[in-house]
Structure 1
Amino acid sequence: MALNLKTSNPAFTPYFWNDNNKDTSKMTVRGIFIKSMLCILAIMGVTLGVWKLHEQGVDVSWFTYGGIIGSVIISVILSYKQHWAHILVPLYTITKGCFLGGFSAYIKVKFPEMPYQAIGVTIVTFFVTLILYQTRLIVVTKTFRSVIITSAASIFVVYIISFILSFFGIKTFIWGTSWIAIIFNILAAIVASLSLLLDYDFIERHKNKAPKYKEWFATWGLLVTLIWLYVEILRLMKKLAIRF
């Protein structure tokens, strides 16, 4: 593929961003970018709204639990009904905004700057992984893809089991500030970071080929990974702040 470089920043080379011979009926990088930005802005709006309620003394725990349960249900449906993505992804955005608002509101009370710091680290990680993908310093092979998917699924299962046990008053190791909990958090953050590479690879392989509704599906994939990464970073920062 011929490259017509217009910038020295490898993250913005035409290899990834250029929509050559684009067809408006097909999935494009531009469409994914616009949808992703709109969803992120919506998540930020809902999150700030929940923060406002928490500052007013409202119990926002229901936003946290309702948001995480709602997002899981929507994700399961979306996995089977991808052509409903234009409806389900905006709903997913709202549920995740509720979850992030409730989840980070309690951390913000004790560590006011920490949520913003976690956002900053997430943004930096996004661009670093994009550059690594663009320059092919990390190549997404079938083996790499299998390892990351298996690791992510395993972490997800641990979280689900721990979440269910928490309703019965059983606290697993992932909720504490022990070194085991911290190491688990670090590994989860690394897997979340590498999962971004799978999102980039999906976009690269399907741009200008997949149906237009796949833009919403690709947007959902990016949101899932970015939010997961942000949560892991925020939890890790909180544990380190408490421990040290």
Structure 2
Amino acid sequence: MAGTNPVFDRLNKQIEKERYAGFGQPQQGRQGQGAQQGMQQASAGYAAQDAMSAQQLDEMYARDTAGSVDTGRVTLDDVIVKSLVLFVVTVGVAAASWVLTSGSPGLTLPLWLGGMFGTLALGFAIAFMKKVSVPLIMVYAVLQGAFVGAFSQYINSIPRYEGVVMTAVLATACTFVAMYAGYATGFVKVTSKTRRMFFFAIVGYGIFSLLQVVLLMTGVLDGWGFGGSSGFGVILSVVGVALAAYSLAIDFDSIDNAVRVGAPSKYSWLLAHGLIVTLVWLYIEFVRLFARLRD
């Protein structure tokens, strides 16, 4: 299962296309555009200032400078909070799905397939909708949790894969921390060139993964798909983990860009959604890798 992240691609394109009615525009640009209007209003402004009392002036100057929250822009704290909300929803539903499928194995396939195809459909809807739909994002998190729980329980129920799920969880957490540290210190760089290379790599891997899913469902392939548990199959899983890990750096950079240019606060939900999607993708790739190594 491969996970592209059109969410951040869409946001980056919109940031470049328009400056959100003044969001993120350089100060000099705004001053140049409003110079004539400012001159026309100068005399009226001075007269109004003269009419203000000394107390009113003191109160005005004593006010705190308007921050990102006051001006309706994306903040890092906002993205973190919303990411935690979606993470809790996803993990909570995954835990419920794990318990349900453990007691009723017959529910494994419906939850697995329902969650997988449901998130696929909703993912495209969320990525290409003109408006940010918080309800759809929450439903996506629920379906994603249902899929993750059923998938994880199935893997854990196979004796030779016992412990793979927990190992994959720890590996995902460690990779997240390592990639953030690497990005924050500049060791892992994201440039326009690496973004283009990553885009073509992810498109190719996505097509490859969709083809593999179709062949698995039609019975042409079995097990883990192309390469099985051979050395070639392990290499494919390593490639998947590497792509998902670098996708985290892309996500971090996209969040930084949104905060820097002052994107509207509504996009904090979209940014959080994209980050959780990448985390789940990374977890799935780790499960596949460790399971193949067990074989």
Deviation of 1:171 after TM superposition, in Å, equals 0.8
Q: What is the TM-score when the length of structure 2 is the normalising length?
A: 0.72
Alignment match, 1:129: 179
2:259 aligned with 1:215? no
Does residue 119 in structure 1 map to residue 169 in structure 2? yes
SS in 1 for 2:289: helix
The equivalent residue for 2:56 is none
Give SS of 1:84's match. coil
Q: Which residue of 1 aligns with 2:253?
A: 201
- Give the alignment of 1:1-244 within 5 angstroms: 21-24=67-70, 25-59=72-106, 60-109=108-157, 110=159, 111-171=161-221, 173-174=225-226, 176-207=228-259, 209-242=262-295
Structure 1 residues 82, 36: CA separation in 2 closer, same or farther (over 3 Å shift)? farther
Compute the displacement of 1:235 (Å).
0.9
Larger Cα Rg: Structure 1 or Structure 2? 2
Judge conservation of contact 2:132–2:270 (CA < 8 Å) in 1. Answer: no
Q: Deviations over 1:171-204 (max 9, x none)?
A: 1743721111110000110010001011001110
Q: How far apart are residue 82 of structure 1 and its match? A: 5.0
CA separation of 1:211/1:175 partners in 2, compared to 1, >3 Å: closer, same or farther? farther
Q: What's the Cα RMSD here?
A: 1.7
AA matched with 2:98: W
For residues 26 and 48 of structure 1, the distance between their equivalents in structure 2, rounded to whole angstroms, comes to 34
Q: Give the aligned length.
A: 223
Give ranges in structure 2 of 5+ residues lacking alignment: 1-65
8 Å Cα contact 2:132-2:267 kept in structure 1: no
Residues 234/213 of structure 1: CA separation in 2 closer, same or farther (3 Å cut): same
2:122 and 2:130 map into 1 onto residues whose CA distance is: 11
> Identity of counterpart residues, as a percentage?
24
Higher RCO (CA 8 Å, separation ≥ 6 residues): 2
Deviation of 1:72 after TM superposition, in Å, equals 0.9
Q: Please state whether the residue corresponding to 1:139 is helix, strand or coil.
A: coil
Residues in 1 aligned to 2:133 and 2:235: alpha-carbon distance in whole angstroms:
35
Q: Which amino acid aligns with 1:171?
A: L
TM-score by length of structure 1 reads 0.86
Deviations 1:10-40 (A, max 9, x none): xxxxxxxxxx942341111111111111111
Shift of 1:87: 1.8
